[in-house]
Amino acid sequence: MSTIIDRPGFAGYRRGEVAESPSTPVGGLSVFIEGRRRLFGIAYRILGSAAEAEDVLQDVWVRWQTCDRSRVREPMAFLATTTTRASINVLQSARVRRETSVGQEFEARPNDVLDPAAVVERDEELERATYLMMARLTPAERAAFVLRVGFDYPYPHIAAVIETTEPAVRQLVSRARKHLAIAKERVVDPGAHQRLLRAFRNAAREGDAAALELVLTRA
């Protein structure tokens, strides 16, 4: 016995259509409307945004319309999987855009991002900045750059900390600036990154850079 669909649900819906096999246009619409609340819940839990979840459902609806539904054995499982993947793609794209923006800002204004006075307000930028320094700079370049740009150490003091000469420190800082502008990155150890990030935060907040010096010189 056919069931009359008589409720609002989605773009393309027309009152009074009859639910049929999911492989037919009407049946496909019926399946989507029946599962729409569940699909929205999946997208919303992943994205945390009702507007973005609605956008994902629009995309899933288009895919559902254009796929070969006669080959889909479990329509709701297919729709749930498609919704999950689409939501994750949106989340990853947003993160990449955000990280790219933060990275570009750091490359253009490293002094601002590494300013200890702004650590609390710019925590996300600092995390990305420390990652970029580990990925693009040698340990010596990183130590010289952080101590000079982040904490305004005099060149002779930096030379004493990393056991080199003052001219060498100046060259290290100069090379660090150039290397930060080049998107060639090394593999970063997550544990080492977190140690550097914590040491920088603590030095900025407590005004004691001794632990940071230790992390930088042991890298």
Provide the sign of the torsion angle of the four alpha carbons 148, 152, 154, 160, taken in this order: negative
- Is 166's pLDDT higher than 90? yes
Give the mean pLDDT of the chain: 75
**Backbone dihedral region of 16: left (phi > 0), alpha (psi from -120 to 50 degrees) or beta?**
left
Predicted confidence band at 123 (pLDDT cuts at 50, 70, 90)?
A: low
CATH of domain 4-96: 1.10.1740.10
List, for residues 139-165, the tens digit of each pLDDT value: 899 889 888 887 788 899 899 888 899
pTM above 0.85, yes or no: no
Between residues 47 and 77, the one the model is more confident about: 77
pLDDT score of 76: 85
Between residues 118 and 48, the one the model is more confident about: 48
- Domain ranges for the chain, please list them: 4-96, 109-218
- Is 47's pLDDT higher than 80? no
- Range with the lowest mean pLDDT among 15-19, 177-181, 197-201? 15-19
pLDDT score of 72: 83
